[in-house]
Every structure is written in C-alpha cells, then in structure tokens.
C-alpha cells in the first residue's frame, strides 16, 4: 500500500464478537495528497459468507457427480457385463448355475443403485429431528439386514432416545450392521454400547488395518473386492449432518469399532465404556 497499489479481490475470515466466523471480501485503495504521496487509504469490506457457502455446496455437488460417474462407468458396468455374458448361456443350456451367476450380478447392481440413491439425496441434509428410540431403531435395522447366524448384543446403558432424524438414523444403523456382516462373516457378533459422548458399534470380525481407518469413510473405498465402497461414506455423512463425529478404531477382539460422539440424548455424566468393558469375544 505504501507503493500506492490497489488491493482488490482479497478474501479472509474475521471473527465476530460472539465468536462466530464471517467470510469477507476486501478491497483497499490508496489516498494521495496534493503532492502525489500516499497519506491514507480507503477500505471496503463486504460480507461474502453466502457466496462462499454456495461455492462449497457446488463443490460438494460436483464431487458427488464424479462419484456417480465413477460408479456408473466402472462398478455398475462390471456386473452388467457379467449378466450380459452369462444370460444367453443360461437361456441356451437351462442350467441353474448359469442363471445364478446372472442373478448375483443383478443383485450386485441393485445394491449399488440403492447406495447411489442415498448419496444422490442432499448428502448432508437431515429432516426434522426428534427423540428417537435408540435400541428399538437399532433392532429394527438389524432385523432388516441381519442373518440368523449373526448376533446383535446391546449392552446396558445405551441411550433411551437420541435426538435425530428417524429415517437417517435407521440408514446409519443398517449400513453399519450390513458392513459388519459383510466383512465379519455370517457368524459375526455386533456389540453396541454407550460412551460418555455417545455410543459405539463394534464387531469381532477381521477389523480395519490401522492405515486405512480414515480412508474407509471415503466414497468408493472398500477393503474387499465385492464391497460397494459407499456404506461407511453414507454413515459418515449422516453423522456429520446430525453434528456428530465418527471415528474408526479397533475393538478388543481385533474387529472394527465405530465411535460416535456429540450425540444429543446420551448422558454426558455417565462414565465412558472402554473396549475392555465389552464382554469377552464380543468385540
């Protein structure tokens, strides 16, 4: 500014008195005296918070479009190719084993489309929240995806209710239960308990490698060849939409454990249950 140059289009973030942040655009022009020397400046500060938020939403939408394009061009095309290849053979031979290959491919496509439809919704949005029966919603979700060989163990002390969007909470539980069964096997045990800040859902399956625990929440990332890679991404987005945080760690038995914090409805004064508080072998 001492050199008499104008500053335009600068952007920064300022802190209000109440501690909230505001995004601003800044322009500064020098003021000259009669001799042409700079003796002051004029500043214009404009609140651009709305524009910045619109740009962020647009970036998120573009990211989702890229995700969809990736699934449609690759993940959906693979089972479609399998179905297309085996269908004429199944028709020609009439053998059940060929028809079963086609059926598995179509089921796979159906799973991918279901996950895409969830992500196609405003991913971070939730509807009206209310106190939702925690254990009742969990058990209903388990019933919809569980297997006869898998076990759900709900420990004493889980929240009676959780302030949430009932439909999205159900989706969160369904995806976590399905993830445990798909990765832990039919005989997996899923344990759900309370923590000081919320709740955890753990299993006694093979677990998640330490270096991959952050990546599992990314869309399209899967630790198995036949996973859609969207289940835990959906879980993460639903949690964020409620203002919760979710972290992946290891259960006592070496399986996966997902911890949710910032959950309204849990008792903040109750002692946190550590992994060692879980029943032996239930992870």
Which CATH number do you get for residue 245? 3.30.565.10
Q: How confident is the model at residue 158, as a pLDDT? A: 95
- Domain final position from 96, 120, 144: 120
In contact, 102 and 90? CB cutoff 8 Å: yes
- More confidently predicted of 115 and 99: 99
Tell me, yes or no, if the pTM score tops 0.75: no
Q: Which residues contact 126 (CB under 8 A, 6 or more apart)?
A: 164, 165, 168, 238, 241, 242
63-72, 202-211, 254-263, range with greatest mean pLDDT = 254-263
Most confident among 105-109, 141-145, 208-212 (mean pLDDT): 141-145
Nearest to 192 by CA among 162, 164, 152, 232: 152
Tokens 């619109």 label which residue?
54
Domain match, 102 and 25 both: no
Q: 153 pLDDT band (50/70/90 cuts)?
A: very high
Task: Check whether residue 145 and residue 198 sit in a common domain.
Answer: yes
Overall domain count for the chain: 3
Q: Are residues 146 and 268 in the same domain?
A: yes
Q: Would you place residue 271 in the very low, low, confident or very high pLDDT band (cuts 50, 70, 90)? A: very low
Asked, for residue 99, whether it belongs to a domain, the answer is: yes
The segment with the largest mean pLDDT, out of 35-39, 51-55, 58-62, is 51-55
177 and 256 assigned to the same domain:
yes
Mean pLDDT of 276-283: 38
Q: Are residues 62 and 37 in the same domain?
A: no
Does residue 2 fall inside a structural domain?
no
**Helix 96-120 with 231-241: angle, nearest 10 deg:** 20
Mean pLDDT of 135-160: 89
Both 74 and 184 in a single domain? no
Nearest to 197 by CA among 140, 244, 137, 138: 244
Pairing of strands 189-194, 151-154: parallel
The domain in which residue 253 lies consists of 130-277
Here the tokens at position 221 are: 């990332």
What is the structure's pLDDT at 260? 96
Please write the tens of the pLDDT for every residue from 207-242: 887 877 777 787 656 655 555 567 788 888 889 989
Task: Choose the weakest-confidence range: 17-26, 39-48, 64-73, 133-142.
Answer: 64-73
Q: Is residue 185 left, alpha or beta, with left meaning phi > 0 and alpha meaning psi from -120 to 50?
A: left
The DSSP line for 208-225 is --GGGTTGGGSTT--SST
Q: Which of 1-10, 59-68, 148-157, 205-214 has the highest mean pLDDT?
A: 148-157
Dig out the tokens for 275 from the structure: 């992994």
Q: Which helix (H) or strand (E) holds 165?
A: none
**Whole-number Å distance between alpha carbons of 191 and 213:** 19
């Amino acid at each position: 500014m001492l050199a008499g140059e104008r500053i335009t289009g600068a952007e920064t973030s300022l802190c209000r008195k109440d501690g909230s942040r505001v995004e601003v655009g800044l322009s500064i022009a020098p003021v000259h005296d009669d001799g042409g020397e700079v003796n002051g400046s004029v500043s214009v500060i404009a609140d651009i918070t709305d524009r910045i938020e619109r740009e962020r939403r647009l970036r998120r939408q573009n990211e989702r479009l890229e995700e969809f394009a990736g699934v449609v061009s690759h993940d959906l095309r693979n089972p479609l190719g399998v179905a297309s290849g085996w269908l004429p053979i199944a028709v020609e031979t009439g053998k059940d084993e060929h028809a079963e290959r086609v059926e598995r491919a179509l089921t796979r496509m159906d799973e991918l489309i279901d996950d895409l439809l969830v992500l196609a919704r405003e991913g971070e949005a939730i509807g009206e929240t209310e106190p939702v029966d925690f254990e009742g919603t969990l058990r209903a979700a388990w019933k919809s995806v569980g297997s006869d060989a898998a076990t759900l163990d709900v420990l004493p002390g889980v929240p009676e209710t959780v302030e949430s969007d009932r439909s999205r909470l159900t989706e969160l539980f369904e995806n976590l239960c399905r993830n445990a069964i798909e990765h832990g096997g039919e005989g997996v045990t899923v344990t759900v308990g309370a923590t000081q800040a919320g709740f955890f859902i753990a299993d006694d399956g093979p677990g998640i490698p330490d270096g991959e625990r952050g990546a599992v929440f990314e869309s399209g990332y899967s630790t198995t060849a036949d996973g859609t890679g969207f289940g835990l991404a959906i879980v993460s987005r639903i949690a964020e939409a409620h203002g919760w945080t979710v972290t992946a760690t290891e259960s006592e038995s070496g399986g996966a454990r997902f911890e949710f914090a910032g959950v309204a409805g849990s008792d903040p004064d109750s002692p946190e249950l550590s992994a060692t508080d879980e029943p032996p072998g239930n992870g």
